[in-house]
Structure 1
Amino acid sequence: MGKRDREILKNICIESVAAEGNALAHVNGKTLFVPLCVPGDIVNVQVTHKKKNYMEGYMLELVTPSPMRLAPFCSHFGDCGGCRWQPIPYDKQLEFKQQQVVDQLTRIGKLDLPVIAPIMASENTVRYRNKLEFTFSNSRWVPFEALRQEAGAREVPPSPAPKAGHQSAPESAPLPVSGSAPATQLPALGFHVRGRFDKVLDIETCHLQEEPSNAIRLAVRDYAIDKGLSFFDLRQQTGFLRTLMIRITLTGEVMVVVVFAHDNPEAGEDDAARKALLDYLQHTFPQITSLHYIINTKRNDSLGDQEVIHYAGKPYIVETMEDLEFRIGPKSFYQ
């Protein structure tokens, strides 16, 4: 579907939720998938893809919010690729997730199911992750709203004019148009933008992990910028800093793994810069109990076949579950 031919659907009532964090409605006999919506929302939708039996689009305007809609607790909501159900109350999230599983097994799997007990709720709905991985990027992805706010400092290309009879997105609506800031080329350390492997959103505060996770990430980012260390270019496969892994256990132990993109022992520059960064981390955050690094020269970020080099502290961290203790290493899978 060409951009000029994209249809705008008005006053669509969101009925339920679907897989991958999308919401759904039915329009003219077709299923419509829209992200970042809540059942009960009345929205105007820009159609982006139209197939025989379904359509995809994004919310241009929230006409009437659902009675159950909550304000997102994270400032990065809508741009970051995670936590897409923030506007939905947690008890409703559990109901929707359970219904999805039942639907998959009965409607698609054609299985007869016994009575299923409700999902057990978690005690914590934020700061519950024991592991996070952040990506370095040499070009920070900037939401279009942020670019418009900076328009007084530099010229920003205007949005294309809407077609006759079509309503443009208001200031408060999520906008799909975005880009980097070419005038500054700010680097980023954060998460991938939803649906984009090559776009990284710089994260100021993430609510998924206990401190000092945010403090460590921000310190590494600011140190690297101050020292002129190059952030990775995902398309050109160039740059020095690649990813950052942080693990935090319930006992308060902290593991940090810094992944570098290349090594140049003959010149000695890589080794010196790497050592300086790791020493800075060790001295700034004495609560780091296990510090490692990896040199990954591959095109992808998988680390299963990479050598982990232990730099300081213990080679593992300890996690407890009831009366059991687990030693967690840099490559361990533990949830």
Structure 2
Amino acid sequence: MFDFYDFMAGSRVEVHYIQNETKRQYLIRQSLQLKKWALLGGLIYYILSTIADFRFPPAVYQQTIPARLFLVLVPLMFITWTYWRKDKFDYTFNLGLLLYLGIASGLVHGFVYYTVIMSGGFFPKVGMAMLLLYSCLLLGLPILFGAICAVVLIVTAAVVYYLTSMPVINIALLTAFYTLFSVCCLIANKVCYFILKENYQLVQKIYHISIYDELTQVFNRRYFVENLHRIYHQAKREQSMLSIVTIDLDNFKLLNDTYGHVAGDDALVKISTIIKKYCKRPLDFVARTGGDEFAVLLYGSNQSHIEGICKSILSDIKSLSIQSSDDGKIISASIGVASTDFKGSVYDIEELIHNSDVAAYQSKKNGKNRFTVFNSES
């Protein structure tokens, strides 16, 4: 029978949180940490760059600092705060703001470069490469958005270099370098995206394995216990009846001994399909909890409904006429039912499982192919 304490002593799979998570949600969540740190690093870098503008003559920084402050720094501070302080936010809106930041930072960089050079100062060209790295890779933007940023930044740089009378050959070489650098960053971005997609599929597969019985494809013992706890507390809050139906197959060992495990596996698949069709409501489900044992969790059912399900399961299993031996014995089931309604006698989870096992044992003891409803007085 089902040993609750033995099961709970086992290890727990930590991937259940993605049960209802779409691939898009997973990719957004996985890239969140990258964006958070990239934004924080970008904010610190941009503050330092803004402060560094004070090294230029007043006529220069009085133009560059307002442009940096209002067009880039304020939006950057806002979105950095959004990613670090808010648990939920409008991803589509923030994605548009990230695209704006990538383009605006490139345009402002070009403006600062032009202003400094035209005043006779020096401004390093490495800043454009850093912006391309930031926009195409570190922000984790979708490939299309990263490509848009790259094109705008490269065109901006070429125009500004031309306006500052840089030799055409130098402009061509720098443009080629920026293009190659951007392509490399975008390829790295795409590779990371594919790795995340493969991870998502792998985690989904692991999650499926962790909660489903490999043979019958109904839920397994682990899932039964973990969800029993969740649904039990929900039933307690809502004062709803919660029932466990334990189904222990009769003559199953005899079937394996006579016809082999292949025949036994085939019988289990057929029987699990029968049981599963009676779990149609959202919180009802069936799990294989042992070699030849199943458990059904029924939420908010009344006694007549539960008894009707038990009778139908018994009838359907018997109608399969699966012979367990050459002497004519067939596979049937001994069923035990235990319920708690939180209004009268209340059983805790361990008692509920134990009571359903006791009732199933009573059915087997009284001749098999029957169901017994647990009664504490009997």
Report the TM-score when normalising by structure 2: 0.25
More strand by percentage: 1
More helix by percentage: 2
Report the TM-score when normalising by structure 1: 0.27
Rg (Cα) greater in structure: 2
